[in-house]
């Protein structure tokens, strides 16, 4: 009886989830700083969260590599009020990732075309709620600090609406106005 009680307790202890280790908590703190800095907005501080060879992969416009280029990229952004819903994360050793969905606001100008014969036209700036999915890749540097090595996201547009084509942006043929 004593043996089965001890064995049961041992199995119960092993089955309990372990608290997040310090490495995972440090990586989570970096993601929280990313959101705070993005919403500040402070492109210099935001770029400092990326690795020197960091890579930003926006949904359109090509890749952005390196801290200085990333700072320039975020300096031109009109996004604000970013929030994340983290769906999956993993930190193992010196690397990790966070994947989920996001919501943000962005100031947009230009024409939006519905997926119908009718068109809504306008060129005045307006706040647009943006949402999509994201993937952040993280790595612990030689200095012991976590940095973002890759930042990639998708954008979902209003149901039935897509932005008008812009120079350098490829719009799928099925969605071209």
Q: Return the HEC string of 125-161.
A: CEEEEEEEEEEEEEEECCCCCEEEEEEEECCECCCCE
Mean pLDDT to the nearest integer, 86-115? 80
Asked whether the beta carbons of 55 and 149 are under 8 A apart, the reply is yes
Is residue 96 assigned to a domain?
A: yes
Assessment of whether the complete model's pTM goes beyond 0.75: no
If you average pLDDT over every residue of the chain, what do you get? 76
Alpha-carbon distance of 156 to 9, in angstroms, equals 49
Q: What angle do CA 128, 133, 139 make, to 5 degrees?
A: 125
Q: Which region among 5-19, 77-91, 122-136 has the lowest average model confidence (pLDDT)?
A: 5-19
Is residue 3 assigned to a domain?
A: no
Q: Looking at the DSSP assignment, which residues form a beta bridge with residue 79?
A: 106
Alpha-carbon distance of 37 to 34, in angstroms, equals 5
Position 172 pLDDT exceeds 60? no
Is residue 169 assigned to a domain?
A: no
Alpha-carbon distance of 77 to 107, in angstroms, equals 9
Q: Tokens standing for 168?
A: 């350098």
Is residue 64 assigned to a domain?
A: yes
Q: Tens digits of per-residue pLDDT, 57-69?
A: 998 878 999 999 9
pLDDT over 70 percentage in the chain: 63
Whether the CA torsion 92, 95, 96, 97 is positive or negative: it is negative
Residue range of the domain that includes 137: 20-104+128-155
Is residue 160 assigned to a domain?
A: no
Q: Which region among 18-27, 48-57, 167-176 has the lowest average model confidence (pLDDT)?
A: 167-176
Is residue 61 assigned to a domain?
A: yes
Is residue 144 assigned to a domain?
A: yes
Q: Which is higher by pLDDT, 94 or 128?
A: 94
Asked whether the beta carbons of 157 and 163 are under 8 A apart, the reply is yes
Supply the CATH number for residue 86's domain. 3.10.450.50
pLDDT of residue 80: 81
Nearest to 46 by CA among 65, 29, 60, 33: 33
CA-derived radius of gyration, the chain: 22
pLDDT of residue 134: 93
Is residue 81 assigned to a domain?
A: yes
Position 29 pLDDT exceeds 50? yes
Count of domains in the chain? 1
Q: Which region among 41-45, 59-63, 85-89 has the lowest average model confidence (pLDDT)?
A: 59-63
């Amino acid at each position: 009886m004593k043996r089965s009680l001890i064995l049961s307790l041992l199995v119960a202890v092993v089955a309990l989830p372990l608290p997040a280790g310090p490495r995972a908590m440090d990586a989570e703190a970096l993601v929280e700083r990313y959101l705070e800095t993005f919403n500040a907005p402070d492109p210099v501080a935001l770029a400092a969260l990326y690795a020197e060879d960091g890579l930003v992969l926006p949904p359109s416009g090509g890749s952005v590599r390196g801290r200085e280029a990333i700072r320039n990229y975020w300096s031109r952004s009109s996004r604000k009020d970013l929030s994340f819903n983290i769906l999956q994360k993993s930190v193992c050793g010196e690397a990790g990732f966070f994947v989920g969905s996001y919501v943000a606001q962005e100031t947009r100008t230009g024409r939006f075309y519905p997926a119908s014969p009718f068109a809504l036209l306008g060129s005045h700036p307006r706040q647009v709620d943006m949402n999509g999915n994201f993937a952040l890749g993280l790595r612990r540097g030689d200095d012991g600090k976590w940095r973002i090595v890759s930042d990639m996201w998708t954008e979902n547009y209003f149901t039935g609406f897509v932005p008008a084509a812009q120079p350098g942006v490829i719009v799928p043929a099925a969605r071209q106005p």
